[in-house]
Amino acid sequence: MGSFKGDIQATRIAASTTNVIIAPPVRLRGIIIAGLATSGTVILKTTSVTGTTLFQGDVPAGDIINFSFPEDGILFPKGVYVSTFTVAAVTLLTDKYSGPGLTAG
């Protein structure tokens, strides 16, 4: 029987934004991206809005993307920042901010 991972937190981003979304280190486990009437993109970085790109998601016009990352997801060691946001909304599914194994290194 497989193990169950708990303590997932959902953080919703609505309207255009380009700033810090989650400040502490966190693992991104899944993402839901809601598109607009035109195709769009969301780019997530760590450290700052000009930091290292760790995720870029594109969504076709009027579509919704729901994706769960395999294994341990994507570690954002210095928080999650948005540098590009041309979609209707994004929901980040992450470990709780105080989850085990998260370091700022």
pTM of the predicted model, to two decimals? 0.83
CA atoms of 74 and 29, how far apart (whole Å): 7
* CATH code, domain with 26: 2.60.120
Domain assignment of residue 47, yes or no: yes
Residue 20 domain-assigned (yes or no)? yes
Q: What's the pLDDT tens digit per position in 49-89?
A: 899 999 999 999 999 999 999 988 999 999 999 989 999 99
Has residue 105 been placed in a domain? no
Sign of the C-alpha dihedral, residues 83, 9, 74, 63? negative
Within 47-105, strands assigned E span 52-59, 64-68, 74-76, 80-85, 89-95
Report if residue 3 sits inside a domain: no
Q: Is the pLDDT of residue 35 over 90?
A: yes
Phi, psi at residue 86, to the nearest 5°? -125, 45
CA distance 42 to 12: 13
Is 82 part of a structural domain of the chain?
Answer: yes
Query: Could you say which DSSP state residue 54 is in?
Result: E
Q: What pLDDT, on a 0 to 100 scale, did the predictor assign at position 5?
A: 57
Q: How many domains does the chain have?
A: 1
Domain that residue 90 falls in:
8-95
The reply to whether 2 falls in a domain is no
